[in-house]
């Protein structure tokens, strides 16, 4: 199995793996990952051309590049990285005790870890989607850029008003879809990483892979998974943005489908592919390397 799979109980310290993966995801976000994700989400929500979306986001300079980082982006990144790393390490051990085939056990652990991640991510992702939408609308209308402190207060006010209007149930908006989506996301990512690495080894005749090969195959595996998960990913920001108003979600989805056709389910595919490969590279290969260095020191 690939390096993203934990093979022995002794090798894994769940708490440390969670902490390292969380830190690795924050590193990914602040080095371009958050920008790519924001562009992707705006593309899916508005269907505007990429140049238009990028200009709007970057019109605020570095604040635009890191838009949504404080507080929800940082919280989301830390949570999704930590939960993924810790739960994957935990489920690797659990499934290994019940499933004799190591590859099937690792794949099951990937799907399970993704589901747990989705459960934790859903309310935070909803908050960030609402905040990003409001900030983007303010930028388009020409409202001046906010300071970090103003953006944090603005974020809290948006969430507060939403809960006040719709009740605490608002935080569960889209949660079943998010849990299913994250399960499919990480199950397919680990599957493709393993399949690509096995193909590389078979082609080269060498069972060992260099760091560069592992880095590139983790990116490729994450990117390849988009072909399976893209339609689900397309629905999430539409659902979460639609519930902000009084129009039923089903009507918003039908209007999108009538306006854009089948292509609506692939909207944002380019940026989604780039971001997923980049994110997977940090959440698997980079976190594994950092963990190994710390654990062996």
Lowest-pLDDT range of 3-17, 116-130, 258-272, 283-297: 3-17
pLDDT digits (tens, 9 = 90+) for 51-63: 999 998 898 788 7
pLDDT digits (tens, 9 = 90+) for 210-250: 999 999 999 999 999 998 888 777 666 666 555 555 556 66
Phi, psi of 225 (to 5 degrees): -65, -20
Nearest 10 degrees: CA dihedral of 239, 178, 284, 218? -60
Average per-residue pLDDT for the chain: 83
Threshold 0.85, pTM exceeds: no
User: What is the spatial distance between Cα 287 and Cα 85, in angstroms, rounded to a whole number?
Assistant: 8
Q: Does residue 121 have a cis bond before it (omega within 30 degrees)? A: no
């Amino acid at each position: 199995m690939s390096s993203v799979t934990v093979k022995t109980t002794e090798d894994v310290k769940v708490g440390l793996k969670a902490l390292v993966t969380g830190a690795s995801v924050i590193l990914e976000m602040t080095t371009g990952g958050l920008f790519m994700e924001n562009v992707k989400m705006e593309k899916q929500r508005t269907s505007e051309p990429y140049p238009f979306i990028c200009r709007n986001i970057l019109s605020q300079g570095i604040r635009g590049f890191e838009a949504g980082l404080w507080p929800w982006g940082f919280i989301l990144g830390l949570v999704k990285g930590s939960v993924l790393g810790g739960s994957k390490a935990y489920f690797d051990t659990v499934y290994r005790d019940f499933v004799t085939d190591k590859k099937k056990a690792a794949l099951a652990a990937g799907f399970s870890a993704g589901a747990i991640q989705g459960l934790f991510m859903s309310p935070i992702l909803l908050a960030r989607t609402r905040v990003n939408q409001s900030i983007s609308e303010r930028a388009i209308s020409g409202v001046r850029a906010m300071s970090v402190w103003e953006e944090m207060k603005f974020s809290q006010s948006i969430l507060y008003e939403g809960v006040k209007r719709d009740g605490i149930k608002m935080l569960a908006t889209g949660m079943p879809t998010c849990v299913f989506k994250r399960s499919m996301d990480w199950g397919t990512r680990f599957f493709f990483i393993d399949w690509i690495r096995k193909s590389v080894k078979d082609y080269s005749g060498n069972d060992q892979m260099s760091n560069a090969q592992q880095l590139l195959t983790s990116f490729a595996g994450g990117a390849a998974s988009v072909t399976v998960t893209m339609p689900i990913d397309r629905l999430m920001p539409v659902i979460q943005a639609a519930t902000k108003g009084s129009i039923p979600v089903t009507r918003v989805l039908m209007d999108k489908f009538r306006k854009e056709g089948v292509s609506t389910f692939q909207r944002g595919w380019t940026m989604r592919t780039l971001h997923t490969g980049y994110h997977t590279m940090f959440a698997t290969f980079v976190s594994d390397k950092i963990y190994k260095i710390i654990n062996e020191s």
